[in-house]
Amino acid sequence: MMQDQAYQVFAAQQANRGINLEDVKSKLKAFRVETPSWGYADQGTRFKTFKKAGVPRDPFEKLEDAAQVHRFTGICPSVALHIPWDKVEDYVALKTHAAALGLSIGAVNPNLFQEDEYMLGSVTNSNPSIRKKATDHLLECVEIAKTLGSNVLSLWFADGTNYPGQANIRRRVQWMHECLREMYAAMTPEMRMLIEYKFYEPAFYHTDLADWGMAFNMAGKLGPQAEVLVDTGHHAMGTNIEHIVAYLLGEKRLGGFHFNSRKYGDDDLIVGSINPYELFLIFYQILDAARDSDAGVRRTAENIAYMIDQSHNIEQKIPAMIRSVMNVQTQYAKALLVNHEEVKAAQDKQDVLAAENAVRSAFELNVTPLLSAVREEMGLSPDPMTAYLQSGYGEKILARGVGGASW
């Protein structure tokens, strides 16, 4: 009863602000966030991997854990895979197992940073045989994606150098393009290649894809099926990520997100745990673009792959993932409550404070009554975290023991 009353009060307040709450609820029910298989596995820092009881021992168990996140949040029906971390003998069996759990396979992520040969680069290595090995792996992942029914290939490269003069930077760009061009040609027309960037680490002098501009340029060279993937932890301190998002939307090249958070470097902390306002402002730019007069911009905004990419080092895996998803959903809900007409009116009058207030006031709203109502209408518990903790699943999987699959 108290929840119903809280929602009625909230609904009346939003009606007074000119917000169509039924439209907001419809968008929240349609919102989807992909979780990563590796987020359920043993992980750690560069110093140590922390072994925990109950973590998955193979990709099939990773899917079972991911199904729990979807069961309690209702918005995570797909799971990203990382190859070879999730390599199996029979991908059809893996796809069938996912379907039986109410899941599908999402993005396929090649791994080009763990082989000894890649110490000095994979697709940018000066050794042609190593570049061929890297390209063959990319092509392998395209074929795996076809078998799994995945239309997204998510690429991140650790390639870079540690010292000036170590390698020819311009030639490395050419070599990368040659490898990716071969991969691009192998993709089906329905597939998308999402190119990620990172400004440093593990290379400390230069990274071959260091920022959004380099990823954008590479995508442009390859063709319309190549887009930019923004990882919220892959930027220098103080970077205006929502500005990058707005620019890429305008250029129709924003393909997806890897959500996480960071205080300093790429910490892979739970998304929204450090700077939730940044996450809100990213969604504000996306939803603003979804109203654009340019149909291409609108299509780009409506076709973004939202994915979690986090390394849960000290947290329990499934609760941490549920918290991540809830944090994303919360900021998306707040962004849906921005009154865009009010913002535009203030912008047209060049009223700086009124425009800023129209955006910020939505962020300051308590959307708990809204999210509780939406979850109940979806047949879910209004409190996914408590519902999971009371389900007994966390205790059940302890029988797996310690020493599950790690990345």
Task: Encode pLDDT of 161-207 as tens digits.
Answer: 999 999 999 999 999 999 999 999 999 999 999 999 999 999 999 99
Any domain includes 351: no
| pLDDT average, residue stretch 130-153 | 98
Tell me: pLDDT of 106 over 70: yes
The model's confidence at residue 48, banded by pLDDT at 50, 70 and 90, is: confident
Structural domain total, the chain: 1
Any domain includes 203: yes
What pTM, to 2 d.p., does this model score? Answer: 0.96
Tell me: pLDDT of 20 over 80: yes
| Helix axes 352-363 and 276-289, enclosed angle (nearest 10) | 110
CB 84 within 8 A of CB 53: no
Q: What percentage of the chain has pLDDT greater than the value 70?
A: 99
Any domain includes 236: yes
CA distances from 325 to 148, 212, 238, 321 (A): 24, 25, 24, 6
Beta-strand ranges (E) seen in 192-246 are 192-196, 206-207, 226-231
Alpha-carbon dihedral of residues 62, 65, 71, 77, nearest 10 degrees? -20
For residue 183, the domain's CATH number is 3.20.20.150
My answer on whether omega of the bond before 202 falls inside 30° of 0, hence cis, is yes
Any domain includes 394: no
d(CA 270, CA 326): 10
Any domain includes 161: yes
Any domain includes 85: yes
Q: Phi, psi (5° rounding) for residue 89? A: -70, -35
Q: What per-residue string of b and e applies to 212-226 under the rule 16 or more CB within 10 Å gives b?
A: bebbbebbeebeebb
Any domain includes 270: yes
Neighbours of 230 (CB within 10 A): 23
Any domain includes 407: no
Task: Encode pLDDT of 261-310 as tens digits.
Answer: 999 988 789 999 999 999 999 999 999 999 999 999 999 999 999 999 99
Residues 6+ apart with CB under 8 A from 227: 192, 193, 194, 195, 219, 253, 254, 255, 256
The model's confidence at residue 406, banded by pLDDT at 50, 70 and 90, is: low
Domain that holds residue 183: 33-332
H or E, element range at 44: strand 43-44
| pLDDT average, residue stretch 35-63 | 91
Q: Which amino acid is at 30?
A: A
Tell me: pLDDT of 405 over 90: no
